[in-house]
Structure 1
Amino acid sequence: MKRQLDKILETVLIGVLAIMLISVSWQVFSRFVLQAPSTVTDELSSFLLIWLGVLGAAYATGQKLHLAIDLLPKQSVERHKVFFEGFVYFFIALFAFAVMVIGGIRLCWLTFQFEQTSATLEIPLGYVYMILPISGLIICYYCIFLFIEVKNTINSQSQRNG
């Protein structure tokens, strides 16, 4: 399941980046060559940048590419790897669930309730912000998957050594 999700995210991220590239290129062309800047491309690029950043963070979590700061000696972390990685994954998942899923759903609900639309594209902003709870759920899934993977790896190593 993780590999399929990875492939889907890769495809979506490449698609978003390609649309962004076309949008920004058209913006530059229309502004400097045609002398008539397109207003739609500016807003579209901003929304796609939000999607790229948030979905990219979810993808980075699944690939173990998130930032880490080593505060504890490496030897103590290696001895208690399941505990420390579980601790990290728990708080990443907690943050993603509380802020991105719950907060994102609330944000979407409010923007739909107040019928907020974007200025140029005139689409409901709830659709733009919907990426927050989706990415939060993906991050939670990756955290659970990676914790189980670490736990199984440690258990299989201890069985071979024991």
Structure 2
Amino acid sequence: MDIRQVARQIGVFEKRLVDGLLCILLLAMIFLACLQIGLRTFFSSGLLWADPLLRYLVIWCGMFGAVVATREKKHIAIDVLGYLAAERIKPWIGLLIDFFSSLVAAALTWAAILFVRNEFSFGSIPLLSIPSWGWALVFPLGFGLITLHFLAAISADIKTLVSSQRKTEPGREK
């Protein structure tokens, strides 16, 4: 088994894991929100821990949703230059954008690691016996996965550039 097959299998595993986790989180949010509404409407009470948990679940869903959007190349992008550029330089612009995006995502991963470290040192009151730094682990995990997806996009961009260079070399068919 070569490295490309291993990378492909890891990618499939990550896709299934993130997609499955996102579905479970969304179902839990919907169930818990409906339960809270029902308890408040019919019994004039509710679960004290449900609202803070829902806030954390929204953050987790947002981060994993961003991972999925990045993986599927459906993330927010302001790409006027790529839109206006000539076809032959679009792959180069894509490479530059993916490179810059991977640097930003890596910096955010590092900042998130520092944030979790500070939460560990000075953390607040735990929710459901999970300390605040445990809930904050989604930030380095999410930004780390986003960084990996941008690095994979760089690899795909380089393959595109190499294959387009081979097609335009003299003596080769176009």
TM-score by length of 1: 0.88
Which of 109, 114, 138 lines up with 2:117 in the alignment? 109
87-96 vs 19-28, which moves further = 87-96
Structure 1: how far apart are the matches of 2:161 and 2:64? 30
Q: List aligned pairs for 1:82-161, cutoff 5 A.
A: 82-99=91-108, 101-118=109-126, 121-161=128-168
The structural deviation recorded for 1:153 is 2.6
Residues 31-61 of structure 1, C-alpha deviations (whole Å, 9 max, x = no match): 1112112221111110000001011111111
Secondary structure at the counterpart of residue 38 of structure 1: coil
Which is greater in Rg?
A: 2
Q: 1:77 to 1:28 in 2, by over 3 A?
A: farther
Identity of aligned residues (%): 24
Q: Could you tell me which amino acid in structure 2 is paired with residue 155 of structure 1? A: V
Structure 1: how far apart are the matches of 2:70 and 2:146? 6
Structure 2 alignment gaps of length 5 or more? 1-9
Kindly report the root-mean-square deviation, in angstroms, between the aligned alpha carbons of the 2 structures.
1.9
Q: Which runs of 4+ in 1 moved over 3 A?
A: none
> Would you say how many aligned residue pairs link Structure 1 and Structure 2?
160
Structure 2: how far apart are the matches of 1:30 and 1:47? 20
Q: List aligned pairs for 1:4-43, cutoff 5 A.
A: 4-43=13-52
TM-score by length of 2: 0.83
